[in-house]
Structure 1
Amino acid sequence: MAVFLLNACSKGEAEGKPAFDVVAKVNEQEIQANELNSVAARAASQGATETGALERLIDQELMVQQARERRLDRDPRVLQSFEAAQREILARAYLEQVTEQIPPPGDAEISAFHAAHPELFARRRIYSLQELEVRVPVERFDELERVSAKAAGVDEVKDWLARERIEFRVTTAVKPAEQLPLESLKGFARMKDGQMVLSRTGSGALLVHLVTSREQPVDLATARPMIERYLVNERKTALAKAEVERLRDGARIEYAPAAATPNAVAPAEPPRASVPR
């Protein structure tokens, strides 16, 4: 949808020399280099080539032309989608402008973060994990907890689940510390090889078995750009949240009677800071 909006803006200019080089024509409709660059940049992470991006733009232009011939650009549902996309793009652009002048953290702040999170850096580990997603009824969670606490290993828990005909799914993964949730990383750092931990989920329970682990520390010099990105992102998150709260405090917001309950409408959530990688 964002591509459609950008195309509409670039193609609504006065006739004359195009602002960008023309890379293709589809039934006399020009596709310009800025459109191709935008699509190619988004697809680069997926290993797509520029030729592939151009072909997708051509296919898209053919469909857009057919849609306009059928007057789908006047369909109320399509217009509503345009408005929703425009609202989302403008809101995101506003937050990006508000948060773009965040100053970088200083050396002392970066060093303090490195020292405060040894599980991410000085004692960073690579975890080989086996996870059991268990669809256990709520009333049997305590029973599963007792079984897993007494079990000599994860296979014993699997055998019990099979005997009790409780559905479960096993997945395995190898994850470095920075790919684990930051709020639970300290707990993982305390785990020993072979240990299991059980937690409740919306669909039942999750049993995590630490198969093996090995240390692979990251020194301050290597970690510095990762920490800097994280701290800047964290500041942007806090600033965006504060800006949304400021706007809401200064606005007159009136809910319709059907939406007057506290949980009926949630405020827009600003971007979140992610674990440094």
Structure 2
Amino acid sequence: MNLSNKGRTLRSGAVTLLAVAAVAVLLAGCGDKKSDKASQTAAKVNKEEITVHQINFVLQRQQGLKPEQAEAASRQVLERLIDQELAVQKAQDLKLDRDPRVVQQIEAAKREIIARSYVEHVGEAVAKPGADEVSKYYNEKPNLFKDRRIYSLQELQIEAQPQQVQDIQAKLRASKSVAEFVEYLKGTGLRFNGNQAVRAAEQLPLNSLDAIARMKDGDSALSQTANGATVLFLVGSRSQPVDEAHAKPAIEAFLMNQRKGELVQKDIKALREAAKIEYVGKFAEGAPGAAGAAASAPVAAPATETASAPVAAPAAEPASAAASGLDSSAITKGMGLK
């Protein structure tokens, strides 16, 4: 989503809320002479009820719902909830809800929801950034705003041995075009794959943006990887700056998210220091202390950069996560702490 589309996104969100409200009035308004409980009932499935609140909860999660679509959408959601209720009832008849795996999944989901709720509660204390802070961020990131460009990029991922990378780099420097370099790769028998895309500045990794912004059309760059090398070609670019007024909502959102992440990290660290944590069995071997454990489990790290809210790139993977091949950000998110 382009920064210039931010206003349309906000209007879309407002329209969605209006649509949800319209559904609530439409459904809850039926049968005014009945009891309040009956007026909130949308359907009965055997002995169980499906309520308007359940329908509204699902509708609130739908993006871009228009008011004129509200009635049709509510009926569609109701049918899906009926199917879901029938499946739940049958599963209960078969005692699947008592299956240890199911119980474990339910408990994990419950813990995640509760933990996420706490994180949101902590984040409520964060103050909205002031105008000076927004201006400072805007001026410190010219490649995202004042000097923003749209890039046409080609990327080649090459499988090679470390000793081959030097020859690849030399040939890259000597090549007059992407096509010439690709022909060279074909002749060597090296395995490679490529892709091409058009990306706005805010859609690129923030830690790579400045380097890409320094490139001129036709330039290339090589970076060594664990499996060989990645070559990036800047096929072309065009200027498309964003003024501070249009960038302000995105910058405010980023700074808010960044502060929330820092506050949650600080809070979790304090909770760890105040708690008695005892590692047992094989986990006691080489177990980190409270401070080390907090460092190895980042909480609520800022999200990766998006068009609507340019944000800092995630912190580097902790050594323990990298060694195990696990994505610590994914793990943290799955625990409701991000």
1:230 Cα deviation from its structure 2 partner: 0.9
What is the DSSP-based 3-state SS (H/G/I as helix, E as strand, rest coil) of the residue aligned with 1:44? coil
Map 1:213-252 → 2, pairs under 5 A: 213-252=237-276
Q: Could you tell me whether the CA contact under 8 Å between 1:154 and 1:196 is conserved in 2?
A: no
1:193 Cα deviation from its structure 2 partner: 0.7
Q: Could you tell me whether the CA contact under 8 Å between 1:103 and 1:232 is conserved in 2?
A: yes
Choose from 85, 100, 104 the match for 1:76. Answer: 100
The residue type equivalent to 1:272 in the other structure is: P
Partner of 2:149: 125
The residue type equivalent to 1:37 in the other structure is: N
Q: Could you tell me whether the CA contact under 8 Å between 1:22 and 1:32 is conserved in 2?
A: yes
1:179 Cα deviation from its structure 2 partner: 0.9
1:138 Cα deviation from its structure 2 partner: 4.2
Change (3 A) 1:202 1:39: farther
1:262 Cα deviation from its structure 2 partner: 5.4
What is the DSSP-based 3-state SS (H/G/I as helix, E as strand, rest coil) of the residue aligned with 2:61? helix
- Does residue 33 (structure 1) correspond to residue 52 (structure 2)? The answer is yes
Change (3 A) 1:205 1:63: farther
What is the DSSP-based 3-state SS (H/G/I as helix, E as strand, rest coil) of the residue aligned with 1:209? strand
- Does residue 106 (structure 1) correspond to residue 136 (structure 2)? The answer is no
Q: Distance in 2 between matches of 1:20 and 1:178?
A: 48
- Does residue 258 (structure 1) correspond to residue 282 (structure 2)? The answer is yes
Change (3 A) 1:158 1:55: farther
Gaps of 5+ in 2: 1-34, 311-338
Q: Decide which moves more: 148-157 or 180-189.
A: 148-157
Partner of 1:56: 80
Change (3 A) 1:53 1:271: farther
Partner of 1:11: none
Q: Decide which moves more: 154-163 or 201-210.
A: 201-210
- Does residue 159 (structure 1) correspond to residue 189 (structure 2)? The answer is no
Q: Distance in 1 between matches of 2:90 and 2:100?
A: 17
Q: Could you tell me whether the CA contact under 8 Å between 2:262 and 2:301 is conserved in 1?
A: no
What is the DSSP-based 3-state SS (H/G/I as helix, E as strand, rest coil) of the residue aligned with 1:42? coil
Q: Distance in 1 between matches of 2:158 and 2:124?
A: 44
- Does residue 269 (structure 1) correspond to residue 263 (structure 2)? The answer is no
What is the DSSP-based 3-state SS (H/G/I as helix, E as strand, rest coil) of the residue aligned with 2:217? coil
TM-score by length of 1: 0.84
- Does residue 171 (structure 1) correspond to residue 190 (structure 2)? The answer is no
Q: Distance in 1 between matches of 2:191 and 2:141?
A: 37
- Does residue 87 (structure 1) correspond to residue 111 (structure 2)? The answer is yes
Cα RMSD of the aligned pairs, angstroms, is 2.6
Q: Distance in 2 between matches of 1:240 and 1:188?
A: 33
Q: Distance in 1 between matches of 2:37 and 2:243?
A: 51
1:210 Cα deviation from its structure 2 partner: 1.0
> Number of matched residues?
262
TM-score by length of 2: 0.70
The residue type equivalent to 2:42 in the other structure is: V
Change (3 A) 1:31 1:249: same
Change (3 A) 1:254 1:230: same
Gaps of 5+ in 1: 1-15
Q: Decide which moves more: 71-80 or 53-62.
A: 53-62
1:82 Cα deviation from its structure 2 partner: 1.0
Q: Could you tell me whether the CA contact under 8 Å between 1:128 and 1:172 is conserved in 2?
A: yes
Q: Could you tell me whether the CA contact under 8 Å between 1:24 and 1:31 is conserved in 2?
A: yes
